[in-house]
Amino acid sequence: MPERTCPVCRVRSAPTGMIRFVRIDDTAIPDLAQRRAGRGAWVHGKCLRDLARQPEILGRALRHRATAPSGLVANVTLALEQAMDAERHQARRLGLASLTVDGGVLCSRRTRRLRTKLALLAEIG
């Protein structure tokens, strides 16, 4: 599995427990689906608060004058919660068991995605 380096803490780890940011115009936005084109910067969930205090770190990592948006932690938390709701809705629509916060039964791919999002929410605090 590939490893990514968090520009905040400089620790290398697997991208599954990290949030990817990409540059749109001069703003770095979270790419939760990890599908947007362009250079990305991978940040640990626990490092988001430090990133909010030092937004220039993203600019260096993206190799462009990009800054973190205001209200970074709240925006990422909201986006993660919306992504989890969408996953749950899709699972119900497909007739699969719904995932609860303490863990439920879904197909393995959906379970991995939801558990990753839950872990990121827990790290953010």
Q: For the residues of 44-83, what is the DSSP string, one character each?
A: EGGGHHHHHH-THHHHHHHTSS-BPPTTHHHHHHHHHHHH
In tens, the pLDDT along 44-91 reads: 888 888 887 887 888 788 887 766 667 777 888 888 888 877 777 776
* Exposure letters 65-94 (e unless 16+ CB within 10 A, then b): ebbbbeebeebbbebbeebbeebbeebeee
Instruction: Examine the domain organization and report whether 65 and 88 are in the same domain.
Output: no
pLDDT of residue 98: 47
Could you tell me the residue range of the domain that residue 105 belongs to?
A: 73-124
CA angle 69, 63, 4 (to 5 degrees): 85
Instruction: Examine the domain organization and report whether 58 and 99 are in the same domain.
Output: no
In tens, the pLDDT along 20-52 reads: 888 887 777 888 877 888 888 899 888 888 887
Q: How many domains does the chain have?
A: 2
Instruction: Examine the domain organization and report whether 23 and 37 are in the same domain.
Output: yes
Whether the pLDDT of residue 93 is over 60: the answer is yes
